[in-house]
Amino acid sequence: MIKQAIIPLAGLGTRLLPLTSVFAKELLPINGKPGLEYIINECIDAGVKQIIFIISKRKIMIKKYFYNDKFYKDLIKKKKDPRIKKEYQKILKYRKMIKFVYQNKPKGTGDAVLKTKKYIKDKYFLMLLPDDLIIKKNCSKSMIQSHKKFKSSVMASMSVNKKTVSRWGIYKLNKKLNITDYSIKGVIEKPKIEKAPSNKAVIGRYILPKKIFSKLKNLKPDKNGEIQITDAIQLLINDKEKFIAHNFTGKYLDCGTMDGYINSSKEIAKL
């Protein structure tokens, strides 16, 4: 069973400026609901019991969103509006599951994962990157099924246009296991087109082993000062840890860029 999920939320969101100069991108509404709530619901529906949010002082707004009790209570007393009550109850339900940890310097996804080290209890945990929404089919849920079947770590995978490989983590495939799953030999972060081993990209859903912390601890930052989760995964693969690329069947929406963000509202409105 995968009972814990982690969500890195300390990113600056520069691709969504100027909105993100004052606002947390993960709270921006997508068809009337913060993007983050879609991610939380994906976790709940996949059976996750605790979600660890990695935020920063700059992103304290995210914590406030879940801890604005006085505001709600005063309003509910005055207005008796059933909608407000329902929304408050939903927030309280989410809050029970959420734990906050801090990453005050943007030192990459690997560093964000390290901040959760002392809270991870089981052998495996789930990580969701909030820029990546997957609709129509719960990707985390189907990854958990593959995890159970193959008793290995799993990452979401999608075929991308060869021209865009330098935007993604790219898989070195080993062999096809069934319609949706491949075992992998490696993964390389944002390769140049001539160095890309395939056109299968990592999408932001990972079932990672607790062992990853020992690799992350010793990793040096890359040229941008970031510790890459991809590098820690490669080190585990070198140690014969089994990793699977899972071709999910849902629809991927990239909410981390302005065009993608605008499009995601349109796509969700069609559901």
Interface ranges with ligand G1P (CB under 6 A): 109, 129, 131-132, 168-169, 189, 201-204, 230
Return all residues near 30 (Cβ < 8 A) that are at least 6 apart: 38, 133, 255, 261, 264, 265, 268
Nearer to ligand G1P, 94 or 171 (CB): 171
Question: Which C-beta is closer to ligand G1P: that of 43 or that of 160?
Answer: 160
Q: Which is nearer to ligand G1P, 26 or 131 (CB)?
A: 131
Closest CA relative to residue 30, chosen from 268, 198, 231: 268
Angle value at C-alpha 21, between 67 and 269, nearest 5 degrees: 70
* Residue at 115: amino acid letter: K
What is the CB neighbour count within 10 angstroms for residue 4? Answer: 22
Least distance from ligand G1P to the Cβ atom of residue 124, Å: 19
Half-sphere exposure of 115 (CA within 13 A, CB side): 26
Give the residue at shortest CB distance from ligand G1P: 169
Least distance between ligand G1P and beta carbon 254 (Å): 7
First to last CA, the chain: 30
Of the pair 68, 238, the CB lying nearest ligand G1P is at 238
Residues 7 and 112: their CA atoms lie apart, in Å, by 9
Q: How near is the Cβ of 84 to ligand G1P at its closest, in Å? A: 35
Longest dimension (CA), the chain: 64
Residue closer to ligand G1P by CB (options 109, 140) is 109
Minimum CB distance to ligand G1P, residue 75 (Å): 37
Cβ 110 to ligand G1P shortest distance, Å: 9
